[in-house]
Structure 1
Amino acid sequence: MTDDDLIDHLLYTGEGTTLDYKREGYVTDGPDDVKKSELLKDILAFSNTWRTEPAYILIGFDESEQQFYPVCRHPDDSRLQQFINGKTNKHVVFSYRAVTYKNQALGLYTIEVQERPIYAKKKYGIVEKDVVYVRYGSSTAIADPTQIAKMGALEAIKGATGEPLLSVELFSLEDQKSINSGLSFAYTHQTIDEFPDYTEGTHGYLKLNERLVNRNYYRDMVLYQQEQAESFGFRMNVVNRGTASANTVRVHLCFEPPGALHLKAELEDVPSTDFLPKITSLATLLKPPFEEHIEPDRLTAVFSFGKIHAGESAPSGDIFLITPPTKLTSVQVRIHADELRAPIVLNVPTTIQVTERTLRPED
């Protein structure tokens, strides 16, 4: 499902137990704890409400006016995670990201289905200590003891039978920061001018036989520089915060449109003036890091993580996006497992900027 499809669905659905609209974003900075606690209260209410699908808070839309109010400033997802989860009795699985819908800049909170009840460990602003907030229709209320008991009973049943709770984090290799809320990459695409053959090489004090000289050295060096400059590196970490193992866990990364994009698990080594045939490692030949499915308008990479036990995580190896196109505005991440009735879907917005440069021999 694309962002446009998702927002279409949310606008058609209307406010309720799985959706709220906000004309303006929440206050997340400054000294006013009362204003900042409004976000905490709403996240808690959606987290505690019984549902079978994710809940959303759409920022930048007024339902009564049926008007958009573009979001000018987006909060940092990692700071939101610290703000919310530093105050609750258990980890809250939610995320925030910027989305674009019909040229309108909006914001979207996604609150996953998760263990309940969740409450604040201390009073904060309008949020009371140990109070369980729930969503009733389009408003927030306090759960009564009977409701809380039912939450505990349901979680006890789940705990007895076991249920996995999967999520995925994407981290940039450059600074190890999460890119779940957005991937931004600018690079220079270097085209190749005509290069001569490399004809001389030395090994120690002996001149190499011409058959042992890498005639393509100059061209190989340009390709090496291209790959270094035009690659974005990241890793994935799949976490199971549930109470049971997840089997046959797979993560699909979908790129649409792919353009000239291709994925690699490792970058090429610096080329040599010697003629050295490239040898693929035995480990890579026996177990490729991912499978590629190429279609005219989509490239999908499938990563297999096998079994992930409750409370454990599984990291991927390095992943490099080579020459991503400017038309790539989001990366869809889908988590599949035997125990999931439907895949868990995350859309990572992307911003790609490309400049052109022609490399000549004198460069």
Structure 2
Amino acid sequence: MDDITFRRLLYEEESVFLDFKCQQYPFKDVSDTQKSELLKDILGFCNARRPGLDAYILIGVKEIRGGQSEVVGIAECEHLSDNDIQQFVNTKTNRPVHFRYEAYCFSEKQVGVIVIAEQQRPIYLKKDYGKLKRDCVYVRRGSSTDPSHPASPDEIALMGSEKSTPNTKIDILFAEPDYDVSIGLAFPLRGEYCQMPDDDDIPLIEPRATTSTYGGLTFDLGNAFREPINSEFYRELAYYEYVRRLFRPVRLSVQNTGEVSAKNVRVEIVLADDDGVFALDECEVPERPRRKGSFISTPVIGAVGAAIRREPGIVEISTKGERTSIEINCYDLQPGRQVWSEVFYIGTRNNGVSEINGKVYADSLSKPAEFRLTVQAEIQFTQMTVDELRSLNVPERDYTD
């Protein structure tokens, strides 16, 4: 469970894929009749028709129809053991039930989350248990599971005739820049948004005159004998410091968690300037400028190399007007295969949580799959004067007069 999914569920109403419980299910040191309440709800969700959707039971949440449901929370000691309820459920059913229990913290309150995957139906008990009967197919209809009205023979026949269609599912997560380790759906960013002087206010550096003295006379030797100087040094230094303080490196993990191969997978993220989140390609991040220039220009091969490479995970960032597009080509992904993107850089002027919305395209997807990531930022706002810029402590060998 993640904050974005949880917040979205709080605005939903109870249905065939969602249920709210103010209190934890009775499970320890209680009667079979009391424990069968949990079993009934899980079976009801398993047998409900919800193509391609997981079902959720949120424990410690009070439903508020037409608004955001209230997180009341449960005591940490009230959480159920996933292993215990797995054994409890799966020793009683005709086939394994695919679900999990998670202990989740939201706004400093503990919430129990039961996630029930879509799976083969029908599922029923092999023996009577508590208030539930063997061979009865309990099914959730609307917002409840009524044990007195199990599935009819016609409904059961339809369940048995259904063929599960293998699905394509692509998960997008943030990843560490230096290691093949996923961070999750949220990227923590600490940075400094430093407002620099306008370029026009930052002075250019004029080259020194190169002279020679002979016979008591001083001669100007001209530009040919002058040491090359980077006249734009302070302007480049201002941009370098701005980027260095604000932007942080990150990667994305792209994994096929579905059951079929996904061909021609492409991830696309669009950032608008109004969102306050910015992205830079690694080749766009400036190196520390040098005050002394060079007569020999260094060829730029980074962009050419990116254009001819075709490895999965190549990041292409382009800006048009007020919109920046991030595209990651992953090509073909077999089930379970994971691709790690190249490093790129993210910065934001927003404190708190900013959303990043994107889409996944693939030949096996009938429509683009949408995803959402967040940047959780702590930003310090500062301002630098020209004098402060000129007095920055920079390496002596690069910047001395």
Q: Which TM-score band applies after superposition, normalised by the shorter structure?
A: 0.5 to 0.7
Does the 8 Å contact 1:163/1:245 carry over to 2?
no
- CA distances 1:286-331 after superposition (whole Å, capped 9, x unpaired): 45722546465x5442322111122322221112113454487211
Equivalent residues in 2 for 1:11-160, closer than 5 Å: 11=12, 14-23=13-22, 49-55=48-54, 57=56, 60-63=61-64, 68-70=69-71, 116=120, 136-137=140-141, 138-139=143-144, 154-155=163-164, 158=165
The counterpart of 1:248, out of the listed 250, 259, 264, is 264
Structure 2 residue aligned with 1:129 = none
- CA distances 1:270-298 after superposition (whole Å, capped 9, x unpaired): 323343557241212445722546465x5
Q: What code does the residue aligned with 2:70 have? A: Y
Could you tell me how far apart the structure 2 residues matched to 1:95 and 1:251 are? Answer: 29
Structure 2 residue aligned with 1:239 = 255
- CA distances 1:115-168 after superposition (whole Å, capped 9, x unpaired): 658x9xxxxxxxxxxxxx986133469999x9799679734xx4xxx5433222
Could you tell me how far apart the structure 2 residues matched to 1:71 and 1:251 are? Answer: 38
Q: What code does the residue aligned with 1:245 have? A: S
Structure 2 residue aligned with 1:283 = 305
Structure 2 residue aligned with 1:339 = 364
Does the 8 Å contact 2:268/2:326 carry over to 1?
yes
Q: What code does the residue aligned with 2:253 have? A: N
Structure 2 residue aligned with 1:204 = none
Could you tell me how far apart the structure 1 residues matched to 2:202 and 2:162 are? Answer: 72
5+ residue gaps in structure 2?
31-36, 91-95, 124-136, 209-223, 393-401
Which structure has the greater CA radius of gyration?
2
The counterpart of 1:220, out of the listed 236, 239, 247, is 236
| Cα offset, 1:57, TM superposition | 4.1
Does the 8 Å contact 1:255/1:328 carry over to 2?
no
TM-score, scaled relative to structure 1: 0.62
Could you tell me how far apart the structure 2 residues matched to 1:215 and 1:200 are? Answer: 8
| Cα offset, 1:237, TM superposition | 1.7
The counterpart of 2:184, out of the listed 179, 183, 195, is 179
287-296 or 312-321: bigger deviation: 287-296
SS at match of 2:328: strand
Structure 2 residue aligned with 1:269 = 287
The counterpart of 1:169, out of the listed 153, 163, 173, is 173
Q: What code does the residue aligned with 1:314 have? A: V
5+ residue gaps in structure 1?
120-132, 202-207
Does the 8 Å contact 1:263/1:320 carry over to 2?
yes
Could you tell me how far apart the structure 1 residues matched to 2:187 and 2:228 are? Answer: 43
- CA distances 1:163-184 after superposition (whole Å, capped 9, x unpaired): 433222222437855231x333
Structure 1 residue aligned with 2:395 = none
Establish whether residue 356 from structure 1 lines up as the match of residue 381 from structure 2: yes
Could you tell me how far apart the structure 1 residues matched to 2:10 and 2:73 are? Answer: 23
Q: 1:166 to 1:67 in 2, by over 3 A?
A: closer
Q: 1:279 to 1:134 in 2, by over 3 A?
A: farther
Does the 8 Å contact 1:258/1:324 carry over to 2?
no
Could you tell me how far apart the structure 2 residues matched to 1:148 and 1:239 are? Answer: 36
Could you tell me how far apart the structure 2 residues matched to 1:109 and 1:136 are? Answer: 18
